[in-house]
Chains A and B, each alone.
Chain A
Amino acid sequence: MTTQVQDTSVRIEVVVDVPIERAFAVFTEDFDSIKPREHNMLAVEIAETVFERREGGRIYDRGVDGSECQWARVLVYEPPNRVVFSWDISPQWQIETDREKTSEVEVRFISETPERTRVELEHRNLDRHGDGWESERDGVGGEGGWPLYVQRFAQLLKD
């Protein structure tokens, strides 16, 4: 797996030993087992992450108590080649309701051989999260800001 970084985006690619149709299906149908589970904006444990497989669909976490947290919108759904979804999460790991301040994730599936697929993931327009950062900065030490972020990130690093 290689990681490349551009100015305002993160690009990662991986090659999987499955045909392109299967590669696309696993990503979208099994997104629940792919998404790092520690990332949780609900008050309770996540029971499931749901990826609605259609343009205009939602991606949301459902808590064990039935509560929901929608954190993405499916913008493009083109099996088996491409899927694009929004990233409606602020740098402070809170839901971003202002769509002008959301970034997007494009996942491209490229057939290398009939049995092998290259998957390129690009999380771009990260600078769009930046509007208003200066004012948010004042709240860095607040209860909902910095400590939550640190906790989430630390959990990621531990795995």
Chain B
Amino acid sequence: MVTYQADGWIALGDPTRRAIFERLAEHPRAVGELARELPVSRPAVSQHLKVLKEAGLVLDRPDGTRRIYQLDPAGLEALRAQLDRFWTKALANYKAVAEQQAEEVS
């Protein structure tokens, strides 16, 4: 399982995949929609989605003739990505609050 878990983070190390992942976090999207929003071709988007799916980060489901992609809320990697975001933001808030108070005191 270690390999599988590492894959999730390697998958997110690529800037385009990161961009796709973050857009899917806003709401589920089809391949065409992602390709319109990003400066990459449709086949490239499909390839990136395949990597994200294999890493356990996203799920897909059919919707008529299209496939809709979304984050996998049951995936450990998606949970970690989410908590990483949460705590990074919390500690940035923390640093701002702590140092602002220190300035006010001095």
Residues of A within 8 A of B (CB): 1, 3, 5, 7-8, 10, 12-14, 16-18, 22-23, 26-27, 30, 33-36, 39, 91-92, 105, 119, 121, 123, 126-127, 129-130, 133-134, 136-137, 140-141, 145-146, 149-150, 153-154, 156-157, 159
Contacts and interface: CB of A to CB of B under 8 A. Distances in A.
Contacts of A119: 91, 94
Contacts of A12: 84, 87-88, 91
B36 interface: no
A34 B84 contact: no
A30 B97 CA distance: 8
Q: Which 10 residue pairs of A and B lie closest in terms of their CB atoms, listed nearest first?
A: A154-B26, A133-B74, A26-B98, A14-B91, A137-B74, A153-B25, A34-B94, A34-B93, A16-B98, A149-B73
Nearest to B25: A153
Chain A contact residues, majority secondary structure: mixed
A149 B80 CA distance: 14
B25 A18 contact: no
Interface string B17-42: 00000100111100000000000000
